Amino acid sequence: MPIERVDVAIVGGSFSGLSAALLLGNSLRNVIVIDDNQPRNLKSAHAFNLLGNEQTKPLTFLKRAHKEVQQLETAQVISGNIKSISCINNRGFTLQLQNGPRIESRKIILATGVVDELPAIKGIETFWPDNIFHCPYCIGYAVKNEPLAVYSTEEEAYVLALIIHKWTSDFILFTDGHEVLSDPQLEHLKDLGIRVYSQKISQFTGVRGKFIVAHLSDQQQIKRRGIFMHLKFKQRAPNLIADLGCSYNEENLLHVNEFFKTSVDGVYAIGDIALKVQKMTTAIASGSVAAFAVDHELTDEMAVFA
């Protein structure tokens, strides 16, 4: 297959990747976005805190963004998966698609995203993300005054409860068999009217989108509209990150500077793979910042300095 040569290859076409592509395309850079069409919020019904797009379906937003990028004459978005990435003698990079052409690019922007990891509790998949919620700032207002809960087996349980309880007066905390709260913390939560259940959860049942029932080890059944969980996550494309040799920080995010440049020259990382605050808005912003930096870097490489 023929080789396609571009200024910038963006791996991942969700919020951050398309944001970067839009700025670079508007800058008349030859840019290609390779997208596997598996955004992190694929199953989410609504977007929140996205200015001008409150409660828009994320996929609807992304379709509009795809169209805007595709209308730029130097930008293109293709569907596919990258098999491998390699450096070309410090002159750029080669990206090999699994079923497609080889792409040579002067710069790489990684926007590959992360995968949420749900606790191993029977029935949990059925209720994600309609009754099992990850981000209170995304859905909290939409379920305010409903019976809610937070689930955490870590020391952060106390702070999570304090953050989330303001959306409802009917609020509880599940610690799933873990003793993670001090006596003063337990007393404080009690004073706030927050009940704590430390029993193990054996399974979840209910009616998806309407309510979820936590079955506890002592046979209690606790019905809620939703349960918030601060989920762990893993990188979606660790093989590509390994190909490039990018370093991680202590939070399993890619190590980047203020312009989202990684530890590898010519490689940038944006969106959830590099952001501690992982929101659609911050993902979009990271794409714009990185694209700005990439355009300046490409300009510097052609400049003559006295």
Residue 192 maps to which CATH number? 3.50.50.60
Rg (CA), the chain: 22
CA 106 from centroid of its chain's CA atoms: 26
Torsion of the alpha carbons at 80, 83, 88 and 90, rounded to the nearest 10: 90
Residues 10, 112 within the same domain? yes
Residues 252, 219 within the same domain? no
Q: What is the pLDDT of residues 54-111, one digit of tens each?
A: 999 999 999 999 999 999 999 999 999 999 999 987 789 999 999 888 999 999 999 9
Residues 99, 167 within the same domain? no
Domain boundary among 228, 259, 278: 228
Confidence of residue 2 (pLDDT cuts 50, 70, 90): low
Residues 103, 194 within the same domain? no
Domain boundary among 193, 228, 263: 228
Position 100 scores a pLDDT of 83
- Which residues are CB-neighbours of 285 under 8 A, at least 6 positions away? 19
Position 285 scores a pLDDT of 98
**Direct distance between the N- and C-terminal alpha carbons of the chain, in angstroms, rounded to an integer:** 43
Residues 185, 87 within the same domain? no
Domain that holds residue 269: 5-116+233-304
Confidence of residue 1 (pLDDT cuts 50, 70, 90): low
Nearest CA-CA partner of 114 in 39, 50, 42, 62 = 39
Position 304 scores a pLDDT of 74
Candidate from 50-54, 103-107, 191-195 with smallest mean pLDDT: 50-54
Q: How many domains does the structure of the chain reveal?
A: 2
91 by Cβ neighbours in 10 Å (0-12 / 13-18 / 19+) ranks as exposed
Confidence of residue 306 (pLDDT cuts 50, 70, 90): low
Residues 216, 248 within the same domain? no
Position 45 scores a pLDDT of 84
Residues 64, 167 within the same domain? no
Q: What is the pLDDT of residues 31-47, one digit of tens each?
A: 999 999 999 988 888 88
Residues 238, 216 within the same domain? no
Which of 53-78 are b and which e, b meaning 16 or more Cβ less than 10 Å from the residue's Cβ? Answer: beeeebbebbeebbeebeebeebbbe
Residues 110, 20 within the same domain? yes
State the average pLDDT over residues 279-305.
95
Residues 198, 267 within the same domain? no
Residues 110, 254 within the same domain? yes
Position 36 scores a pLDDT of 94
Residues 219, 296 within the same domain? no
Domain boundary among 228, 244, 271: 228
